[in-house]
């Protein structure tokens, strides 16, 4: 045997070699085919986890089951019923049957309380939906009992904020910042840093633009020791940037600040080109924002000149957009919305740390908001109004309502593409402001 192998080794090799090579080729082809077939595209990281629950998976925002506006009456949820009546009231085709629609609902509403007719008498809370209300949380109950009222007088107004020697100014950017009576430090830090009123140069473009800042406040029960009211009055006299309305400043009443601000805007500052709306615990890179807005405005003007459309306003809305969120059904969270109040998905909306929209859109939002029933979460309400206008909010990666990664926060260059970060304390705002000076010189080479 040994001998046979020895003398036939060469022969064997010569015979086997083609088979082996063909075999290798086959294996190669098979592997190639297999790899091609089993190739999976890279997973796209899911960034936006809405602060609501999601039934599909804890990690991903859920998919919408249907469109946001629904012609069908969802009669088991209060907001949907009211909105249904409201849609009918304002829809020229369906008009006239608004009260009929409300009569059909399971939740017994007063037929006169159709849709969004403003009515400040809290009759919903007193008897008509009493049973539904009993099961709701305190803040939900408080909201429902006043949700048809949007008439609140000014305690402090600033009629002259956008006037200069009797003529209406056209600020490039009006910053409307939601604040609370007690947040004196936040307001001061904002005035000293990113919210400074006056001409602001851009980061690259020296041209910059005029910025005006105003703070939006409700009313808080202050204890007699800290006399917030007098302090606020003094603050307003000194800086002339406080707007205060006579309603209770609670989380579920924040929507009122948007609605009432739009009214103020229309009356006192309608020529502002852009509006920033945000909270008093964010940090904004105003110079970079001013550059961005100047560019948008120039492009819009060029486009207008090119198309001869002189009366078409700019529809710009940017922020950190959250898609396909569902209402939060966890009663222990502050975003909790019970099923008896709202059914359905939320429209695309932007996280509330801060958003920017055009002044012409602010005027349209003011009009449309009269036709959208108030909703307790202000960001979602804004999304609802946009959806009703047919305006899609644009996502901008510079808006970080969920902040930078923790390791990056101390690194100034990490902020170079940031327009807004949430959240920063007054002290951090001032530190960051000084830290980010001359960012361009240091990081943009
Ligand atoms: C409105 O209601 C009336 C009767 O109440 C009915 O005849 C009419 O068809 C309804 N219109 C619409 C558009 O549903
Ligand atoms: C304000 O306007 C009046 C008349 O319109 C004018 O006489 C005056 O010079 C203006 N003042 C300033 C500071 O521009
Ligand atoms: C909102 O403000 C009104 C007026 O002050 C008040 O009656 C209502 O209870 C407040 N709503 C909430 C949810 O706190
Ligand atoms: C815009 O108007 C000018 C003059 O009025 C005209 O010559 C031009 O053709 C118009 N352009 C368009 C796109 O309509």
pTM of the complete model: 0.80
Q: pLDDT tier at 107 (50, 70, 90 boundaries)? A: low
Residues above pLDDT 90, as percent of the chain? 52
Q: How far is the CA of 100 from the centre of ligand 1 (A)?
A: 8
The number of beta carbons lying within 10 Å of the beta carbon of residue 74 is: 17
The SS3 assignment for 99 reads helix
Tens of pLDDT along 239-293? 999 999 999 999 999 999 999 999 999 999 999 999 999 999 999 999 999 999 9
**Residue 22 token pair:** 């063909």
Atom of ligand 4 nearest to the CA of 306: 13
Which residue's CA lies nearest to atom 1 of ligand 4? 308
Contact 147, 377 (CB under 8 A): no
**Residue 203 token pair:** 């980061």
The number of beta carbons lying within 10 Å of the beta carbon of residue 68 is: 15
Query: Torsions phi, psi of 255, nearest 5?
Result: -55, -35
Which residue's CA lies nearest to atom 4 of ligand 4? 308
Query: How far apart, in Å, are the Cα atoms of 214 and each of 105, 182, 219, 239, 433?
Result: 42, 16, 16, 10, 20
Nearest ligand to the CA atom of 303: 4
Q: What is the total residue count of the chain?
A: 445
Contact 402, 351 (CB under 8 A): yes
60, pLDDT greater than 60: no
Specify the residue for token string 């986890």: 49
Domains of the chain, CATH where assigned: 57-146 (no CATH), 154-443 (3.90.550.50)
Atom of ligand 3 nearest to the CA of 376: 13
Q: Cα–Cα distance between 123 and 121 in angstroms, integer?
A: 6
Q: Cα–Cα distance between 58 and 279 in angstroms, integer?
A: 28
Tens of pLDDT along 418-433? 999 998 999 999 999 9
Specify the residue for token string 């633009």: 209
Please, which residues bridge with residue 199 across strands? 210
**Residue 67 token pair:** 């469109």
Please, which residues bridge with residue 164 across strands? 167
Nearest ligand to the CA atom of 104: 1
Specify the residue for token string 């008509």: 128
Q: Cα–Cα distance between 5 and 8 in angstroms, integer?
A: 5
The number of beta carbons lying within 10 Å of the beta carbon of residue 241 is: 21
Q: Cα–Cα distance between 99 and 91 in angstroms, integer?
A: 13
168, pLDDT greater than 60: yes
Which residue's CA lies nearest to atom 10 of ligand 3? 248
Ranges 226-235, 250-259, 305-314, 329-338, most confident: 250-259
Q: Cα–Cα distance between 100 and 111 in angstroms, integer?
A: 8
The SS3 assignment for 247 reads strand
The number of beta carbons lying within 10 Å of the beta carbon of residue 255 is: 24
* Helix H or strand E encompassing 358: strand 354-358
């Amino acid at each position: 045997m040994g001998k046979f192998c020895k003398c036939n080794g060469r022969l064997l090799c010569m015979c086997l070699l083609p088979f082996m090579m063909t075999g290798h080729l086959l294996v190669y082809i098979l592997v190639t085919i297999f790899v091609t077939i089993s190739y999976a595209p890279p997973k796209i990281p899911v960034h936006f986890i809405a602060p609501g629950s999601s039934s599909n998976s804890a990690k991903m925002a859920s998919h919408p089951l249907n469109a946001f506006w629904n012609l069908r009456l969802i009669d088991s949820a209060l907001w949907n019923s009211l909105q249904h009546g409201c849609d009918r009231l304002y829809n020229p085709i369906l008009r006239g049957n608004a009260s009929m629609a409300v009569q059909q609902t399971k939740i017994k509403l007063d037929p006169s309380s159709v849709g969004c007719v403003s009515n400040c008498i809290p009759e919903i809370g007193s008897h008509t939906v009493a049973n539904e209300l009993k099961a709701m949380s305190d803040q939900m109950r408080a909201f429902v009992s006043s949700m048809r009222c949007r008439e609140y007088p000014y305690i402090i107004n600033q009629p002259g904020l956008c006037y200069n020697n009797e003529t209406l100014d056209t600020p490039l950017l009006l910053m409307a910042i939601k604040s609370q009576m007690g947040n004196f430090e936040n307001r001061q830090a904002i005035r000293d840093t990113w919210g400074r009123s006056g001409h602001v140069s851009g980061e690259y473009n020296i041209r910059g633009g005029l910025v005006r800042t105003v703070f939006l406040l409700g009313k808080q029960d202050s204890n007699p020791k800290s006399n917030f009211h007098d302090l606020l009055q003094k603050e307003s006299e000194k800086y002339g940037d406080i707007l205060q309305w006579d309603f209770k400043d609670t989380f579920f009443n924040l929507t009122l600040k948007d609605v009432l601000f739009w009214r103020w805007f229309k009356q006192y500052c309608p020529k502002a080109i852009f509006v920033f709306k945000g909270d008093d615990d964010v940090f904004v890179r105003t110079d970079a924002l001013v550059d961005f807005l100047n560019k948008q405005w120039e492009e819009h003007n060029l486009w207008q000149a090119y198309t001869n459309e002189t009366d078409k306003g700019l529809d710009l809305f940017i922020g950190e957009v959250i898609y396909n969120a569902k209402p939060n059904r966890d009663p222990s969270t502050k975003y909790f919305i019970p099923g008896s109040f709202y059914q359905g998905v939320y429209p695309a909306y932007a996280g509330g740390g801060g958003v920017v929209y055009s002044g012409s859109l602010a005027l349209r939002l003011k009009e449309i908001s009269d036709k959208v029933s108030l909703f307790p979460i202000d960001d979602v309400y804004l999304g609802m109004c946009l959806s009703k206008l047919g305006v899609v909010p644009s996502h901008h990666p510079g808006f970080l309502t969920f902040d930078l990664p923790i390791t990056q926060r101390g690194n100034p260059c990490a902020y170079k593409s940031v327009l807004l970060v949430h959240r920063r304390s007054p002290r951090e705002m001032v530190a960051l402001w000084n830290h980010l000076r001359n960012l361009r010189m240091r990081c943009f080479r």
